[in-house]
A and B are shown apart, each in its own frame.
Chain A
């Protein structure tokens, strides 16, 4: 009798332990791949890790919080440059995410009803998302060339909109170029996600609204957008994180010396560590960036889920 119960218990313990056992390799890899480098980066941020110590970084002298103090001392050149880069990145992110979302939503709503050629258009819309980043951004950098680029050819030679050919990859215009390429790259993702979200809205809601005399605009405002809320909540967050951290686009467009107007924080931190060979300072800036993104993400999730509770 008792032995039978013990056997049963043992069997049950076996089945409950197995999933955790199977997850263990994944957990260990996760630790090795994500957590350990993050912790090491945080440790490096506390060290004076310059070129003299990269061969054995553990031997670098401890700097305490000196790297952090330098990074946030906004009266000194290094801190001021970091703050400038931070504001540029904020403006860039707001514009790029806003425009990507707007274009993605518009396109998704326009593609909601079926018509001839819809499949083809959808495929075309997704092209920028499917292209390899490197090839696409290099092509853009050719198009933005002042003397030989397509953009100036169209604006200056064909449409005569500008008197003098502007530079797109130097000076203040570089910000416009950066936003353009970023929106071009990320709006298809918004489009794809929202298209999927739209499939879940029951058609009869629209029919009922039409019977009640609601116009297209009202249908979008009262049905489509509220129904897409949960999708948008995730979409905007993901777009924000990707855009804020984007390294490929600015690096491929401008190389290792980005113009001040397009000095995004990821490239700025890369500059601060690799170009000046001061890896402690670069790590400190990365840790600050991580903290900022954590706070924004947590705040965003808190805010959006609370509002959902309120409306529910």
Chain B
């Protein structure tokens, strides 16, 4: 009898601990670093309208790769909300994919972790050499003076999307070229529950991208040349204030925009609730909301009147890079896959499917990229786009400054006046959260 009872207790205790494990521990699934040479694990970012859409786009191409090389690719599409944390966890454990997509602005931060295999000259030569890529896109693949941590896969730039019908109704015949014009047009367009501009105020990445472009226009950088943060310089303060004022003082964006974080601003633009939108490659998204390409125009983001050079920056270099995980056991296969994905043929197919611009110059010749939208954005990318700071602390900067702008927009939306001092103290607070090295 005691034996039975003891055995029962033992079983019970084991079961309890096992359930506790199931509750408490994160599973370590998705590890593919040590997979057999015949397979690769690929983490793709969410580029399409849904994760399922991404699978539909990528899987036929992966089968093509398998036919060419005999290497089977295991695909996992990871939502943006998880991607960076998953990469960090993979870097910490050494258990991760062989090849992965990264947001190009993370390149220098991830480069500093050493988790990505550098593309030295010899490696780049295997993919056809660095001359194949758009210089701005390749400059967004790691810190200056170091071998790139990744290669560009999809490129994008910001443009000003404007609703042709609403502009015509307001008696405006072209897109604003300067911020003064944008505010003046925006005020004319803000009538009867409709607004001049839609902003994605709750999305910290959007916020930080606009803050960066505007800071460039004010002659400011968020990092000094030695890589130290300079979030609260006069130019940066003026830039952030100008952006927040679009919703606060100028009131050409709806107060409710301050909590938009799920692309509601794109929906508002597509449904005519707002007449302008500052966005990167919005075409596919607008189409899915039923807005036809001929109903909107795309122009470069406005600049200050008479600006030139760096001060005429109209966009950050947006895009996705493809990286090889350093802990991969199949470097050769991984590099073959990188060559395949950055080959002219795949570049054309994939960028066409996602409505993005191929960072491989040769692929841009395809007629699919000659639409008015992509033509404008490609010109921006080639001429007036600048990479976000390529420093190890870039990822922290995005979160902290993006959150500061979000807080300021929230204050403005609640009707509180946003002063220059208020902006400065919010940015100073953000800078103080940066880890001291």
Contacts and interface: CB of A to CB of B under 8 A. Distances in A.
A100 interface: no
Given A26-B14, A260-B407, A19 B9 contact: yes
A257 B204 contact: yes
Given A167-B413, A259-B407, A277-B88, 17 more contacts: A18-B6, A18-B7, A19-B2, A19-B6, A26-B10, A26-B14, A26-B17, A29-B18, A52-B112, A76-B432, A81-B433, A146-B256, A146-B259, A170-B413, A171-B414, A276-B435, A277-B395
Q: 7 closest A-B pairs (Cβ-Cβ)?
A: A22-B10, A77-B432, A19-B6, A26-B13, A170-B410, A257-B403, A147-B256
Given A18-B3, A167-B413, A274-B85, A25 B399 contact: no
Given A22-B6, A22-B9, A50-B435, A29 B17 contact: yes
A281 interface: yes
B109 A51 contact: yes
Contacts of A165: 256
A34 B17 CA distance: 10
Interface in A38-84: 50-52, 54-55, 57, 76-78, 81
Contacts of A147: 254, 256
Contacts, number: 122
A256 interface: yes
Contacts of B396: 275-277
A23 B6 CA distance: 9
| Binding site secondary structure of chain A | helix
A281 B414 CA distance: 34
B395 A170 contact: no
Interface in B152-180: none
Contact of A255 (B18, B24, B256, B261): B261
A171 B410 CA distance: 7
A253 to B, nearest CB: 11
A34 B112 CA distance: 31
A276 B433 CA distance: 8
22 contacts: A15-B3, A19-B6, A22-B7, A23-B13, A34-B20, A52-B112, A54-B88, A54-B115, A55-B92, A55-B114, A55-B115, A76-B432, A145-B259, A147-B254, A167-B258, A167-B414, A169-B259, A170-B259, A170-B414, A276-B396, A276-B400, A281-B435
A147 B256 CA distance: 6
Interface of B: 2-3, 6-7, 9-11, 13-14, 16-18, 20-21, 24-25, 81, 85, 88, 91-92, 94, 109, 112-115, 202, 204, 254-256, 258-259, 261, 326, 392, 395-396, 399-400, 402-403, 406-407, 410-411, 413-415, 429, 432-435, 437
B402 to A, nearest CB: 7
Nearest to A255: B261
A51 B433 CA distance: 15
A133 to B, nearest CB: 12
A262 to B, nearest CB: 12
A99 B7 CA distance: 43
B234 to A, nearest CB: 21
A77 B91 contact: no
B113 A54 contact: yes
B406 A77 contact: no
A15 B5 CA distance: 11
B402 A257 contact: yes
A257 B399 contact: yes
A77 B2 contact: no
A30 to B, nearest CB: 6
B106 to A, nearest CB: 11
A25 B14 contact: yes
Given A23-B9, A281-B435, A55 B3 contact: no
Interface residues of A, number: 41
B433 A29 contact: no
Given A23-B9, A54-B91, A33 B17 contact: yes
A277 B413 CA distance: 31
Contacts of A34: 20, 24
Contacts of B258: 167, 170
Contacts of B433: 77-78, 81, 276
B434 A257 contact: no
Contact of A275 (B256, B399, B437): B399
Nearest to B399: A275
A278 B7 CA distance: 46
Contacts of A81: 433
A77 B6 contact: no
Interface in A233-283: 255-257, 259-260, 274-278, 281
Contacts of A51: 109, 112-113, 392
Interface string A6-45: 0000000001001100110110011001100000000000
B323 to A, nearest CB: 14
Nearest to B402: A257
Contacts of A256: 204, 399
Contacts of B81: 255
